[in-house]
Amino acid sequence: MNVTVKTPDEQAKMRVAGRLTADVLDMIGEYVKPGVTTDELDAICHEYIVNEQKAIPAPLNYRGFPKSICTSVNHVVCHGIPGPKRLGNGDVVNIDITVIKDGFHGDSSRMFPVGKVAPASQRLAAIAHEAMWLGIRQVRPGARLGDIGHAIQTYAEAQHTSIVREYCGHGIGRQFHEDPQVLHYGRPGTGVELVQGMTFTIEPMVNAGKRHVRLKPDGWTVVTKDGRLSAQWEHTILVTADGHEVLTLGAAERS
């Protein structure tokens, strides 16, 4: 395992990439409404990243992925490919943004309601959000990756939801996906020890039903096996001297 520890200069570049990523998510929210296609959302984000931010949308052509963002609707767990299907009232969609600026990546995703959504959908999104933050709060020098996974898993399962195990958070920096893998389940006191200067994502995928998933024939789209809803949030985290810094906070969270 080759975990990269970022220098102060690299950390500064990660902050910029993280801020730009959050800005895209802040921008796109007003466009998420009934009748819009995920292809249209992709085009808006692509235009904003390339022309406004003068940056690069990392997913585009990454290992053959055909679009600039991921849009995962309802029972899609992750890596949904934008397409022509229109969002309907009551849908929920995860929009996952990764921006490259000056050679460094920022990565974040949020859940967006489409019109008026059911209380069960709101509840699942809230559980996934809280699970992510419980994991983030474990991050400090000397903690271990298992502490993060344990906090997320314990909370999610206490809410009678389940944690997807096949997909996880990851180190990030000059590369989209670096070591270490950040599992969203586990035992406290186990796994890689966190040190100042590490950067990685925490992005739990929480299912309303069972944790099992399947990969669709397109080779990217992951869905729940039982067809029930899934929810996910993601932030990029820097380990600091006395704790952590979230590099992808939106404007409302930064104020």
Question: Tens of pLDDT along 57-104?
Answer: 999 999 999 999 999 999 999 999 999 999 999 999 999 999 999 999
Question: Tens of pLDDT along 172-198?
Answer: 999 999 999 999 999 999 999 999 999
Q: Distance between CA 245 and CA 237 in Å, rounded?
A: 6
Q: Distance between CA 82 and CA 117 in Å, rounded?
A: 21
Report the mean per-residue pLDDT for the chain.
Answer: 98
Question: Tens of pLDDT along 17-31?
Answer: 999 999 999 999 999
pLDDT at 1: 80
Query: What fold, for 8-254?
Result: Creatine Amidinohydrolase (3.90.230)
Asked if residue 217 has a cis previous peptide bond (ω within 30° of 0), the answer is no
Question: Tens of pLDDT along 206-242?
Answer: 999 999 999 999 999 999 999 999 999 999 999 999 9
Instruction: Report the amino acid identity of residue 159.
Output: Q
205 pLDDT band, cuts 50/70/90, is: very high
Q: How far is CA 99 from CA 9, 23, 83, 164, 198, in A?
A: 18, 10, 20, 25, 19
Q: Where do the structural domains in the chain lie, given as residue ranges? A: 8-254
